[in-house]
Structure 1
Amino acid sequence: MTERIWEDLLSEQDKQVITKAGYDKEGASSWESRGLGTNPMVLVIDMQRLIVGENEHILDAVEEYRTAMGHIAWEAIEEIQPFLSFVREHEIPITYTRVVPSSYDDPTHPDLDIVDAVGPEPGDTVIDKSYASAFYGTDLLSRLVRGGHDSVIIVGNSTSGCVRATAVDAKQNGFSVLLPQECIFDRIEASHKIGLLDLWMKYAEVLERSEVQAYIEESIA
């Protein structure tokens, strides 16, 4: 059973609302927010040097890049690496995004590179974006439709920013959304936990990485 990492933030009333209103079993009442799909694409969100930083405490990492998350990112990378290997073994397509800030005139600047530890391999797709959502101003929707995909599995960062924006847009475009929680991260712990809670209640299924892999083996392989 999934360990809900946000439980420690909830009051007793919060827990009762979630249970009594059925969010723990059904998610949002206005649409199917817990569907898993049968033909997913994996989206790897913004695993770039200026966001990941060095494998050191975040307070040290931000001295080089103010956006870097240091050890927080690298703890997630330890989960993302085996997960990407697993989905490649099962021939699930992977699309990476890179955010290109307006402050960078050169989109090939090394700061914007995806870190080697979870970098793309031949056959993977890389999409550049200017805003939070991987859908905004890109051809991601067309790629999903052309590939006959009914769902996305999202890893990367940040939970409260680009992951959230991408998950919401995916749901609004009719795709099921699945989040392996150990493979997602944010610089602020509260933002991470609350972001996952909000997404779980309204837009996505949130599971542990092992549960996502079991789902893939049972339902897709």
Structure 2
Amino acid sequence: MDMATVRLGHRPVLLIVDVQVGVMAEAWQAERVIAQVKTAVARARAAQVPVLWVQHGDAEMPQGSVPWQWVEGLGPAAGEVLIHKAFNSAFEQTDLEQALAQCGATHLFLAGASSNWCIRATAYAALERGYDLTLVQDAHTTQSMPLGEGQEIAAESIVRELNIVMQWLSYPGRRNRVMKAEALDFDAALNQ
């Protein structure tokens, strides 16, 4: 069995980041991605894998505002952990690490938005802290990124690039991979 040697244990959790009205409003293929996030959540709940929710708030998306709300059909169920954040990484100045410790988490399954900001920052932060990581490859999205002078990076390219990176990135004693929402089998993923 190939699993993290940095953190003791073998417990998966699903981390849903920023699937909020204001974040998803202009995101690439938002409806499809929201459906895939719902699939990931349903599979985690059915497998009794803890689902942790991370909700971003800042000056552009203040807590309690319409853009700050979860998209329709998503949000924490009774007893599921909710973490509020103000930075890209879900680990920075939040209680996420304590919540993960209480769950005994060693392997994070990650979905949400935005791929090139909060998902990437959270993925790297998780790996740097010794967690194994599975990026749910069809359950994250972003907007196209303007580079100036009429150039931009298409959102689809950003999503595809992160999926490739998460397959090939290498950290000692940790494992990272990508997996589609429909294929999520938390036990099998941990044993591969």
**For 1:9-56, what per-residue CA distance to the aligned partner results, in whole angstroms no more than 9, with x for missing partners?**
xxxxxxxxxxxxxxxxx9xxxxx69xxx73111110101011122xxx
| Higher normalized contact order (CA 8 Å, seq sep 6+, divided by chain length) | 2
Q: 1:118 aligns with which of 39, 57, 74?
A: 74
**For 1:127-184, what per-residue CA distance to the aligned partner results, in whole angstroms no more than 9, with x for missing partners?**
1111111001101011112221111100111222111110100011110001121112
| Contact in 1 for aligned 2:81/2:99 (Cα 8 Å) | no
Counterpart of 1:63 in structure 2 is: none
Q: Is it true that 1:47 corresponds to 2:19 in the alignment?
A: yes
Q: RMSD in angstroms over aligned alpha carbons?
A: 2.5
Specify the structure having the higher radius of gyration (Cα).
Answer: 1
TM-score normalised per structure 1? 0.70
Bigger strand fraction? 2
Counterparts of residues 44-193 of structure 1 (less than 5 Å): 44-53=16-25, 68-69=26-27, 72-104=29-61, 106-187=62-143, 188-193=155-160
Structure 1 residues not aligned, in runs of 5+? 1-25, 27-31, 54-67
Counterpart of 2:183 in structure 1 is: 211
Task: Supply the distance in 2 between the matched residues of 1:97 and 1:156 (Cα, whole angstroms).
Answer: 9
Q: 1:38 aligns with which of 4, 7, 10?
A: 10
| Contact in 1 for aligned 2:15/2:109 (Cα 8 Å) | yes
Task: Supply the distance in 2 between the matched residues of 1:103 and 1:38 (Cα, whole angstroms).
Answer: 38
How many aligned residue pairs are there?
171
Structure 2 residues not aligned, in runs of 5+? 144-154, 171-175
Identity of aligned residues (%): 21
TM-score normalised per structure 2? 0.79
| Contact in 1 for aligned 2:43/2:184 (Cα 8 Å) | no
Q: 1:198 aligns with which of 156, 165, 168?
A: 165
| Contact in 2 for aligned 1:97/1:128 (Cα 8 Å) | yes
Task: Supply the distance in 1 between the matched residues of 2:190 and 2:167 (Cα, whole angstroms).
Answer: 21
Task: Supply the distance in 2 between the matched residues of 1:217 and 1:200 (Cα, whole angstroms).
Answer: 17
| Contact in 1 for aligned 2:107/2:133 (Cα 8 Å) | yes
* SS of residue in 2 equivalent to 1:165: helix
Task: Supply the distance in 2 between the matched residues of 1:91 and 1:131 (Cα, whole angstroms).
Answer: 29
Match of 2:160, as an amino acid?
K
* SS of residue in 2 equivalent to 1:43: strand
Structure 1 residue 90: Cα displacement = 1.4
| Contact in 2 for aligned 1:42/1:93 (Cα 8 Å) | yes
Bigger helix fraction? 1
